[in-house]
Chains A and B, each alone.
Chain A
Amino acid sequence: MKPRLNDRAGPASRQSETVTPISFERHPFSAEVIRHAVWLYLRFTLSLRDVEELLAERAVEVSREAIRCWVIKFGPLIAANLRRRRCAPCARWHLGGVTLISTVSEMGQGSRTGQIQILADELDVPWDTITVEMAVDREPYRYDGGLYSGGSQSVRTRFDLLRKAGATARAQLTLAAAGRWGVGLAECEAAMGHVTHALSGRVARYGELAAEAARLAPPIDPPLKDAATRRYVGKSVQTLGLADKTNGAARYGIDVRMPGLARATIRQCPTYGGALVSVDEAPAFVVPGVRRVVKLQNAVAVVADDTWSAFKGARALEPKWTTPPLRLNSTGLPDRLTAAFEADGATVASTAGADALAVRARLRVAFAAASKTVQATYEVPYLSHSPLEPMNAAAWVKPDRVEIWAPCQDISNLRVAVARALGRPVDQVEVNVTLLGGGFGRRLKNDYGVQAALIAQAHGGPVQLVWRREEDMAHDFYRPASRNRFRAALTQGDLIAGYEVVGATTDDTAVGGAGPAPYAIQDFANTQTALATGVPVGSWRSVDASITTFGRESFIDECAKAGSRDPLDYRRALLGDHARARRVLDAAAEGIGWGQARGAGSGVGLALFEGWETLICHALEVETAGRKLRVRRIVVAVDCGTAVNPDQVKAQCEGGSLMALSAALGEAMTFTDGSADQTNFDSYPLLRMSQAPQIDVLVISTPGVPIGGMGEPPVPGLAAALANAVFAACGERVRRLPFRAVGWSA
């Protein structure tokens, strides 16, 4: 039976079947926090201010007014349940739970679960006695100077830290017990939340010892547990909070509610860089329930009693906007990108590195001596993030404090941006992070949070801003469009001796992802140019690699073809003695049945990728019939060192692969006169169930190496594996995404 976490239980899971379940629905704070606050107030002679301070010490920011309301509302209910389950007079009640204060936003990547597993192993507690609270944005809770979730690092960068924290606390608790009992430290053992002195039979719970332990000096280098004794790391324990996502209980940013909450929506200037000139507010007020119209620098918002009235009010307006000079037309973009990287002196960024001159000299020699050269140009479009939960945030601007509730990935940045927009000190701004209905890099941005704050400032009470899908899709920070020309010098065996990439990307320089890792190709140069278009761009799951790996892994196949070599053998030859890369490559190839005879129109393709310290290989099987394409199967072989939660690793591989497949098959944002052409899913098609193939994930372990990230690595290689498979199936080489744009239907 897999361990389960009922994350609506009280601490130490002492739920009894006979008590009356209490509903904490529609409260932004968790049941655990509310119960604890009410218990503190009722159990001890504390004032509301005392309770407020005690909670703040545990990184929970809640006003004493809220606590007063909780006491009134929940006190009698909790007291009734306490009476029902009070045990014999000699029993003592300890809080006993462990709280992990995490800087990670929860957007479906399961990082909090992984962090709990790591901590539970070293601290030696049952994993379901650990609850997670979101850190507040101040020291010592920040990680690396802020609160930020992205870059595939929430588990891998905390692995060593959490182990040390758990081991340190365990050592202190053991020492505290030994001190209390006056026995030798070596005679005491800490396990599963208790310290035991076997010789005398004495036992103490961690909760009883915590206060004393905290007063002891922490050991500098506490011993860490051997991997063989791990109870949780390496096991697929069930994901925290998953049950709530199956019954409507999970609360996202868009579900934040509080008394007096007004609702708002926004119309932003449809042309990027434009500003609001004027708007006649009257049409909005025709809609019942509309309370106010708020003008912002480049947008107009409508505040109403409910969301639909706000939507209607906003749609009724006819704002006048300025026309900015820089307005993109997508029809001319490919030529402009080519012209940008072919122009003299086009370099903005180059990854040839410190010995750039030497590398380029060697490349010149390699091209001069090459038996063959291969050249191909690859093109990728702008992409929208399109998380299913549209952009939203709630805000309340009070005289001495600004509160934001937002599903966001970069809390520190949001606080600074809101403070600046309102002219307040950053200390006055608090951000409550809600569950995110998808992040993918979009919710790193501050725009929706700052807008909510400005609207709330104008309105005076709490306001929740919800973007319509049309605003979300037309006002993204898109994955940039890019064109990259790859050119390789082939040497003996038609292997790549060296290659160079010259490319241009819209409003960005895609310097990552085109390089040779994990292949042992010594000489590589990447020269990148940014083309200014005025369309806002940002990080889209796997960032640069999402742009350039399509070219890189397609190009490897094209070089293999130039030498009439099998793409699998070719990659093996290029890898040298990179054992980990070789293992994932071979596993994926074997998994897809590489080398089996296939009928006409059926083909398999590979793509290998190394990034965020993870090795991953995609193998795809496709069928083509005329211009119809069907992906039959995806095999992913992944090595992230130690899979803290193998099922989570598999889930990221499945999800990342399907997101990449969605983009490769049919996604493209285009622009006319500086405005988005696509504004909803009818014109920007996301992958559907009927297009999603079977996915098999093979998780390969390499103990003793740094843990690799898993949020992004499954994305970059998929598109090239698809292109390579289609080539194998029918001989057509697709060098431009999405497939739909070059006549394929899937």
Chain B
Amino acid sequence: MISFIVNGKPARVDASSDTPLLWVLRDRLGLTGTKYGCGIAACGACTVHVDGVPARACAIPLSAAEGKAITTIEGLSADHSHPVQRAWIEAQVPQCGYCQSGMIMAAAALLKITPAPTDADIDATMTNLCRCGTYARVRRAIHMAATMGA
């Protein structure tokens, strides 16, 4: 039995310890906002925050989540009003939207560490994949969110 916090609430999960956190979130805890894209931490669709730090949930075995505080896209804000979320809407970023949970979690983490990121900062840290090609809008929205006081 592994215990941890998800979006501020305690969770206790009885599953094999090698189960990736991604699948624990999606299949055991009903949190489907975190997405499966590749399973090898190459695409970032599964990005969550672990103790405030961005991490790819497909690469975190359940055993490593013990005692941690996990934030998923559902918990980024109580009422969907995080500056990144608001900027994403203002800039009309998502197309199919499947990668955007991970993209937003990565952007939110970037802005916490670097409140006014340069394009070079964005290039270096935003390595999430988007097949629909929303990168130009993601970049614009990150700059926008920075001015909104992320």
Binding site for B on A (CB under 8 A): 26, 107-110, 236, 238-239, 242-252, 254-255, 257, 263, 288, 306-308, 311, 386-390, 435-440, 466, 468-469, 647, 651, 654-659, 662, 680-682, 686-690, 692, 694-695
Determine the distance from Cα of A654 to Cα of B140 in the docked complex, in whole angstroms. 13
B residues near A110, Cβ cutoff 8 Å: 95
22 chain-A/chain-B pairs, Cβ below 8 angstroms: A108-B96, A239-B92, A247-B74, A248-B31, A255-B32, A263-B27, A306-B23, A306-B28, A308-B19, A308-B27, A311-B39, A388-B35, A388-B99, A388-B129, A435-B97, A466-B36, A655-B95, A656-B133, A680-B39, A681-B43, A688-B127, A695-B136
A196 shortest CB reach to chain B, Å? 34
A residues near B42, Cβ cutoff 8 Å: 680-682
Q: Considering only CB atoms, which chain A residue lies closest to B79 in the complex? A: A247
Q: Are B89 and A437 in contact (CB under 8 A)?
A: no
Q: Are B134 and A387 in contact (CB under 8 A)?
A: no
B56 within 8 A of A: no
Q: Are B131 and A651 in contact (CB under 8 A)?
A: no
Q: Considering only CB atoms, which chain A residue lies closest to B120 in the complex? A: A690
Instruction: Evaluate whether A307 and B23 lie within 8 angstroms (CB atoms) in the complex, with A651-B95, A681-B42 already known.
Output: yes
Q: Which residues in window 8-28 of B have CB below 8 A to A?
A: 15-16, 19-20, 23, 26-28
B130 within 8 A of A: yes
Cβ 8 A contact of B122, one of A250, A252, A689: A689
Q: Are A243 and B37 in contact (CB under 8 A)?
A: no
Instruction: Evaluate whether A692 and B19 lie within 8 angstroms (CB atoms) in the complex, with A254-B35, A437-B98, A686-B129 already known.
Output: no
A residues near B98, Cβ cutoff 8 Å: 252, 387-389, 437-438
Known pairs A248-B101, A388-B131, A651-B134. 6 more at Cβ < 8 A? A254-B35, A390-B37, A654-B137, A655-B134, A657-B133, A681-B38
B residues near A466, Cβ cutoff 8 Å: 36
A residues near B55, Cβ cutoff 8 Å: none
Instruction: Evaluate whether A247 and B36 lie within 8 angstroms (CB atoms) in the complex, with A108-B94, A308-B23, A655-B132 already known.
Output: no
Of all A-B residue pairs in the complex, the 4 with the closest CB atoms, nearest first, are: A248-B33, A658-B133, A245-B97, A437-B98
Instruction: Evaluate whether A248 and B32 lie within 8 angstroms (CB atoms) in the complex, with A388-B98, A437-B96, A689-B135 already known.
Output: yes
Determine the distance from Cα of A247 to Cα of B74 in the docked complex, in whole angstroms. 6
Most buried by A among B72, B89, B96, B126: B96
Cβ 8 A contact of B92, one of A238, A306, A658, A689: A238
B56 shortest CB reach to chain A, Å? 12
Most buried by B among A388, A466, A690: A388
Q: Are B80 and A689 in contact (CB under 8 A)?
A: no
A residues near B74, Cβ cutoff 8 Å: 247-248
B residues near A695, Cβ cutoff 8 Å: 136
Binding site for A on B (CB under 8 A): 15-16, 19-20, 23, 26-28, 30-40, 42-43, 45, 72-74, 76-77, 80, 85, 88-89, 92-101, 104, 122-124, 126-139
Instruction: Evaluate whether A246 and B136 lie within 8 angstroms (CB atoms) in the complex, with A108-B96, A263-B27 already known.
Output: no
Determine the distance from Cα of A388 to Cα of B46 in the docked complex, in whole angstroms. 11
B residues near A307, Cβ cutoff 8 Å: 23, 26-27, 36
A residues near B39, Cβ cutoff 8 Å: 311, 468-469, 680
Cβ 8 A contact of A680, one of B27, B38, B72, B132: B38
B residues near A243, Cβ cutoff 8 Å: 80, 89
A residues near B31, Cβ cutoff 8 Å: 248
Instruction: Evaluate whether A245 and B122 lie within 8 angstroms (CB atoms) in the complex, with A389-B35, A681-B129, A688-B129 already known.
Output: no
Q: Considering only CB atoms, which chain A residue lies closest to B130 in the complex? A: A388
Q: Are B89 and A238 in contact (CB under 8 A)?
A: yes
Determine the distance from Cα of A469 to Cα of B88 in the docked complex, in whole angstroms. 27
Q: Considering only CB atoms, which chain A residue lies closest to B139 in the complex? A: A689
Q: Are A654 and B76 in contact (CB under 8 A)?
A: no
A residues near B72, Cβ cutoff 8 Å: 248
Q: Are B94 and A246 in contact (CB under 8 A)?
A: yes
Q: Are B131 and A386 in contact (CB under 8 A)?
A: yes
Determine the distance from Cα of A682 to Cα of B40 in the docked complex, in whole angstroms. 8
Instruction: Evaluate whether A651 and B92 lie within 8 angstroms (CB atoms) in the complex, with A246-B85, A288-B16, A662-B133 already known.
Output: yes
Determine the distance from Cα of A435 to Cα of B72 in the docked complex, in whole angstroms. 21
B residues near A109, Cβ cutoff 8 Å: 95
Determine the distance from Cα of A437 to Cα of B36 in the docked complex, in whole angstroms. 11
B residues near A435, Cβ cutoff 8 Å: 96-97
Q: Are B127 and A689 in contact (CB under 8 A)?
A: yes
Q: Considering only CB atoms, which chain B residue lies closest to A239 in the complex? A: B92
A residues near B88, Cβ cutoff 8 Å: 246
B17 shortest CB reach to chain A, Å? 12
Q: Are A681 and B92 in contact (CB under 8 A)?
A: no
Determine the distance from Cα of A695 to Cα of B28 in the docked complex, in whole angstroms. 41
B80 shortest CB reach to chain A, Å? 4
Cβ 8 A contact of B38, one of A469, A654, A687: A469
Q: Are B27 and A438 in contact (CB under 8 A)?
A: no
Q: Are A654 and B26 in contact (CB under 8 A)?
A: no
Determine the distance from Cα of A250 to Cα of B132 in the docked complex, in whole angstroms. 16
Cβ 8 A contact of A242, one of B94, B128, B132: B94
Determine the distance from Cα of A735 to Cα of B66 in the docked complex, in whole angstroms. 54
Q: Considering only CB atoms, which chain A residue lies closest to B100 in the complex? A: A245
A residues near B45, Cβ cutoff 8 Å: 388
Q: Considering only CB atoms, which chain B residue lies closest to A107 in the complex? A: B96
Q: Are A257 and B35 in contact (CB under 8 A)?
A: no
A residues near B73, Cβ cutoff 8 Å: 247-248
Instruction: Evaluate whether A694 and B136 lie within 8 angstroms (CB atoms) in the complex, with A386-B131, A681-B42 already known.
Output: yes
Determine the distance from Cα of A249 to Cα of B35 in the docked complex, in whole angstroms. 12
Cβ 8 A contact of B133, one of A242, A288, A680, A692: A692
Cβ 8 A contact of A655, one of B40, B97, B124, B133: B133
B65 shortest CB reach to chain A, Å? 14
Q: Considering only CB atoms, which chain A residue lies closest to B122 in the complex? A: A689
Cβ 8 A contact of B43, one of A388, A440, A468: A388
Instruction: Evaluate whether A654 and B133 lie within 8 angstroms (CB atoms) in the complex, with A437-B97, A680-B38 already known.
Output: yes
Q: Are A247 and B85 in contact (CB under 8 A)?
A: yes
B residues near A681, Cβ cutoff 8 Å: 38, 40, 42-43, 129
Cβ 8 A contact of B32, one of A242, A257, A308, A655: A257
